[in-house]
Amino acid sequence: EVQLLESGGGLVQPGGSLRLSCAASGFTFSTYAMTWVRQAPGKGLEWVSTITNSGGSTYYADSVKGRFTVSRDNSKNTLYLQMNSLRADDTAVYYCAKRVVTDWYFDLWGRGTLVTVSS
Amino acid sequence: DIQMTQSPSSLSASVGDRVTITCRASQSISPYLTWYQQKPGKAPKVLIYAAFSLQSGVPSRFSGSGSGTEFSLTISSLQPEDVASYHCQQSYSAPYTFGQGTKVEIK
């Protein structure tokens, strides 16, 4: 079955760190750029970060640049998001998503993992 | 950054009604506009890409239109299974911004 499964969310204090994982199955993971998108409670979707299929290039929203790091392990079909210096406004459901080859929209999404930043 | 503004933020319509959701971009983005459907507790899924192309497997009652800065998603005959939030997204330039979403309910 073609799917993405996120894990690693939870409650963390402001200033803390968390690493999210996204396990891919059912497609050739190493062919596709992968993305993290988040949704704060009651808000719209926000693009966070994208990594190319090889991992050679990464892209970030200004809101997370310098604090978050996206990476991937194509041998494990897994995408990661290392989140440091977390703030209350990082509280959101984090989705991983597969980017289509020829455009910057996302045709496969996971069900998300909730990150709550609170003391 | 390109701002995406959706309207309305929510709507309630009867089964069988024609429903239209609008997405306005702060600059021209043709044809780089995608519509997603997100059911409660579920992952978003693509309905329409490149402004009017129907994603494989999506019912034909969904259609997209528009160009430049104004785009629309139309459900020709609303069904109970269409209860969801709908999001537009521009893929013209980074950051790849989304609208704030439209929640569709059955009256």
- Print the SS3 string covering B10-77: EEEECCCCCEEEEEEECCCCCCCEEEEEECCCCCCEEEEECCCEECCCCCCCEEEEEECCEEEEEECC
Q: Which chain A residue has its CA at the smallest distance from B41's CA?
A: A111
A44 in B contact zone (CB under 8 Å): yes
The reported pLDDT for the residue numbered B41 is 85
A43 in B contact zone (CB under 8 Å): yes
Interface residues from chain B to A (CB-CB < 8 Å): 32, 34, 36, 41-46, 49-50, 55, 87, 89, 91, 94-101
Give the minimum alpha-carbon distance from A97 to chain B in angstroms, rounded to a whole number.
9
**What stretch of H or E contains A45?**
strand A45-51
A45 in B contact zone (CB under 8 Å): yes
What tokens does B30 get? 């043709």
| A33 vs A52: CA distance, rounded Å | 4
Determine whether the interchain pair A105/B89 forms a contact, defined as Cβ–Cβ distance below 8 Å. yes
Instruction: Read off the pLDDT of residues A29-67 as tens digits, 9 standing for 90 and up.
Output: 999 999 999 999 989 999 999 999 999 999 999 999 999
Question: What stretches in chain B show pLDDT beneath 50?
Answer: none
A114 in B contact zone (CB under 8 Å): no
For residue A14, is the peptide bond before it cis, meaning its omega torsion is within 30 degrees of 0?
Answer: no
**Sheet of B4-7, strands arranged across:** B4-7, B19-25, B70-75, B62-67
For residue A41, is the peptide bond before it cis, meaning its omega torsion is within 30 degrees of 0?
Answer: no
Instruction: Read off the pLDDT of residues A85-117 as tens digits, 9 standing for 90 and up.
Output: 999 999 999 999 999 999 999 999 999 999 999
The reported pLDDT for the residue numbered A75 is 97
Cα-to-chain-centroid distance, residue B27 = 18
Enumerate the residues of chain A whose CB falls inside 8 A of the CB of residue B43: 4, 95, 109-112
Enumerate the residues of chain A whose CB falls inside 8 A of the CB of residue B50: 103
Determine whether the interchain pair B99/A44 forms a contact, defined as Cβ–Cβ distance below 8 Å. yes
Q: Which chain A residue has its CA at the smallest distance from B46's CA?
A: A107
Give the minimum alpha-carbon distance from B55 to chain A in angstroms, rounded to a whole number.
9
From the CB of residue A102, how many other CB atoms can be counted at a distance below 10 Å? 7
The reported pLDDT for the residue numbered B56 is 96
In terms of Cα–Cα distance, which of A6, A9, A4 is closest to A29?
Answer: A4
What tokens does A53 get? 């299929």
| B65 vs B49: CA distance, rounded Å | 10
The reported pLDDT for the residue numbered A82 is 98
A5 in B contact zone (CB under 8 Å): no
Cβ–Cβ < 8 Å for B10, B102: yes
